[in-house]
A and B are shown apart, each in its own frame.
Chain A
Amino acid sequence: MIHFRPQLSYRGFASRIYLPSDADLECLGSKMPYAFVLFDPTMLSGGLTTSTLGPQQTARGYSSQEDGCYVTHLVGSSSQAAGFVLQVYDTERQELWTPQPIVFNNILGSAQEPFWLKKIYKLPVNGQLQARVTNLATAPNSIQVVAWGIRD
């Protein structure tokens, strides 16, 4: 049974749309929407409190959550047009989402047009979902990467 057929014309993947089954939808009953922040300059390592990432600098962020957290779509923003590149690593599964850093607008969506994952992604319980961000601009860049999803 088709419950919902998203009209995501902006997502040009030439593959079948993932449609949730009844069992998938039943799992959502007791969950709530949640934003898992993967990267924000204020969470830079070293305890620095800043609102930007320096020119051409690289930094890491992470999300560490309890059981029952799932990612459904990705959203990111950059204050500089040059943007940034992103790589995500799951420490529990010990796998990189992509072998190489990906330019932000190819892997992240916006609030208006989120980047929906083909399948929901369960956040690691005994690990972190880490994001490594490299600023491509030659000026300070305010970068945010958020994995939206659901949790218990």
Chain B
Amino acid sequence: MKPTYSDFDRLALCRARQLASPQMGTASGILSATTEVDGVTPRVAIARLPITNFMPPEGEEFRFVNYVTIPAEDGLQHVVVQFKVPQGRNGMINRLANVFVGGGFQEGQGLITWQLWADFTPGIVVPNFDSIVASLGTVYNPAVMNGIRIKENQLVTLTVSNAVAGVVPAGQQIGGLLGGYFYPVDLEPPEIAF
């Protein structure tokens, strides 16, 4: 009796053939739910991994890093890291670092606070990242996050504030890192909420 293939085996076989010969398979080169293999239609085929968790092939990774000298004790926001999301691309921030290099800073004291802005121009602060009072990660070992979604043309910014009567400036450095990836806008999941 000849051995029979399960749907999964047939799918795997098709994929192997496709890799060996680009002419086989679908026109786009990606298996889909309608791809037929030897007359069998696979029930489930994952064309791509979720873009909210994994960078798609069309994506581009970024790691924006910068250090600035500690600002004056003015209580105002000063830019540490800033970049603009390219037109036609949305993105995901999944790495964050904000560090203080030098003396006089105490974690959680609140004299030095960071803010993450989704769009600095109108002043939209990322919810729950409006007053960071501790170093969440270092530049060489940034904090891993599930992801903060950013949209095209937004001026994403990490700022730092030295409170009035805060840390006396003496050449200390403030560092920051924002990492993640951009992807084409048309890959944005349609069911995405806020």
Interface residues of A (CB under 8 A from B): 56-58, 60, 82, 85, 87, 89, 91, 94-96, 99-101, 103, 130, 132, 134, 136
- Which of B1-9, B24-32, B117-125, B162-170 lies at the interface with chain A? B117-125
Cβ-defined contact, A85 with B193, below 8 A: no
Provide the bound-state CA to CA distance between A51 and B125, in Å: 21
Inter-chain CA distance A107–B98, complex, in Å, is 35
Contact call A85/B154, Cβ cutoff below 8 A? no
From A56, A60, A89, B125 is in contact (CB under 8 Å) with: A56
Set of chain A residues within 8 Å of B125, measured between Cβ atoms:
56, 58, 134
Closest to A101 in B: B124
Is chain B's binding surface mostly helix, strand, loop or mixed? loop
> Are A56 and B151 neighbours in the complex by a CB distance under 8 Å?
no
Known: A89-B193, A89-B194, A132-B194. A100 touches B154 (CB 8 A): yes
B residues lining the A interface (CB < 8 Å): 115, 118-119, 122-125, 127-128, 130, 151, 154, 188, 190-194
CB <8 Å contact, A100 and B122:
no
- Please list 13 pairs of residues, one from A and one from B, whose beta carbons are closer than 8 Å in the complex, sorted by A's number: A56-B115, A56-B125, A58-B125, A58-B127, A89-B194, A94-B190, A94-B193, A99-B188, A100-B119, A100-B151, A101-B119, A130-B194, A136-B124
